[in-house]
């Protein structure tokens, strides 16, 4: 008979936390983009659906079903020279109420010469009492192209979710050829509802998306992007970067403009199929 020792009555039980880490490296093989390295750990998984062209599509999956305080996710994607890839998520990522601590999501992307990568995760949904810290680091070669999209929802209007308090920290650092070309830090909370009402933030809206295209020819999409975005948001171009921000009252209305904007800027690759499943 095996006898397990009784827990120390003075020791406080610690809740189990989710951890996931995944690394995908791709390379060109006979003119097509294929897997070079694939590593998965914990609740982080990467699916690779079959594509109809020479590009590669990667779908990030968090098998824990969502994140809460103390959970950690680490994603890393490396694209060799002469590759085409896009990365998305199987579903929206849900950030649930935290009983302590902050959910930490860190993503690192490296893109080789003459390669393109589209970072297209579906919406991140923040619930009441949630806390999320997210970082995105991108290293581009001198001749590479990147399309980066991050939509976020502060409570789902269709579900009657009224978010009063949550914390969200989002940090982007984008480098090209070793030089920092784009940096931004977005922070809100813990009294998020009052902050979202401010005209300088969302003006009472509850969804937003940030889109960045790094491409030497990005300026040609400027006027078409403005027509799609309309009055709820804006777009600008400078130094080979097109930056757009969209806001709306609910996720469905935001998608109605975000999807055609992605189709425009992602050109022939369009929007990942999982976005419509």
- Residue 1's pLDDT band, with cuts at 50, 70 and 90, is very low
Q: What is the pLDDT of residues 122-155, one digit of tens each?
A: 999 999 999 999 999 999 999 999 999 999 998 7
* Residue, of 128 and 2, whose pLDDT is higher: 128
Mean per-residue pLDDT, 192-198? 82
| Assigned domain for 144 exists | yes
Q: Which two tokens stand for residue 30?
A: 């006979």
| Assigned domain for 262 exists | no
* Residue, of 74 and 161, whose pLDDT is higher: 74
Domain count, the chain: 1
Mean per-residue pLDDT, 78-88? 97
Position 195 scores a pLDDT of: 85
| Assigned domain for 47 exists | yes
Position 13 scores a pLDDT of: 54
Confidence check: pLDDT of 191 > 50: yes
| Assigned domain for 236 exists | no
Confidence check: pLDDT of 90 > 60: yes
- Residue 160's pLDDT band, with cuts at 50, 70 and 90, is low
| Assigned domain for 242 exists | no
Mean per-residue pLDDT, 167-190? 94
| Assigned domain for 124 exists | yes
Computed over every residue of the chain, the mean pLDDT equals 91
Confidence check: pLDDT of 9 > 60: no
How far are the Cα atoms of 119, 134, 234, 259 from residue 186, in angstroms, in the given order?
18, 10, 17, 23
Which sign does the torsion angle of CA 222, 223, 229, 230 carry?
positive
Position 10 scores a pLDDT of: 56
| Assigned domain for 170 exists | yes
For a pLDDT cut of 90, what percent of the chain falls above it? Answer: 76
Q: Which two tokens stand for residue 245?
A: 């921000």
| Assigned domain for 87 exists | yes
Domain span including residue 69: 29-209
Residues paired with 172 in a beta bridge: 136, 184
Position 157 scores a pLDDT of: 66
Which sign does the torsion angle of CA 101, 120, 91, 50 carry?
negative
Q: What is this structure's pTM?
A: 0.91
Q: Which of helix, strand or coil describes residue 138?
A: strand
DSSP 259: H
* Residue, of 164 and 41, whose pLDDT is higher: 41
Contact 94, 68 (CB under 8 A): no
């Amino acid at each position: 008979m095996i006898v397990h020792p009784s827990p120390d009555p003075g020791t406080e039980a610690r809740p189990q936390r989710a951890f996931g880490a995944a690394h995908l490296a791709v390379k060109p093989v006979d003119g097509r983009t294929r897997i070079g390295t694939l590593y998965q750990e914990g609740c982080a998984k990467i699916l690779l659906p079959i594509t109809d062209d020479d590009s590669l599509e990667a779908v990030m999956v968090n098998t824990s079903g969502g994140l809460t305080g103390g959970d950690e996710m680490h994603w890393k994607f490396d694209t060799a020279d002469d590759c085409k890839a896009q990365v998305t998520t199987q579903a929206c990522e849900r950030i649930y109420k935290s009983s302590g601590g902050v959910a930490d999501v860190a993503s690192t992307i490296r893109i080789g010469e003459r390669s393109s990568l589209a970072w297209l995760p579906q919406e991140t949904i923040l619930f009441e009492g949630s806390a999320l810290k997210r970082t995105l680091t991108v290293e581009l070669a001198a001749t590479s192209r990147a399309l980066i999209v991050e939509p976020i929802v502060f409570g789902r209007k269709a579900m009657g979710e009224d978010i009063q308090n949550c914390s969200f920290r989002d940090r982007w650092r984008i480098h090209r050829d070793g030089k920092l070309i784009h940096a931004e830090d977005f922070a809100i909370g813990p009294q998020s509802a009052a902050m979202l009402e401010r005209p300088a933030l969302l003006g009472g809206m509850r969804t937003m998306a940030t889109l960045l295209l790094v491409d030497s020819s990005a300026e040609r999409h400027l006027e078409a992007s403005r027509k799609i975005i309309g009055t709820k948001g804006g777009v600008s171009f400078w130094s080979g970067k097109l930056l757009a921000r969209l806001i709306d009252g609910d996720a469905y209305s935001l998608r109605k403009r975000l999807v055609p904007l992605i189709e425009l800027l992602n050109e022939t690759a369009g929007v990942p199929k999982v976005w419509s499943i």
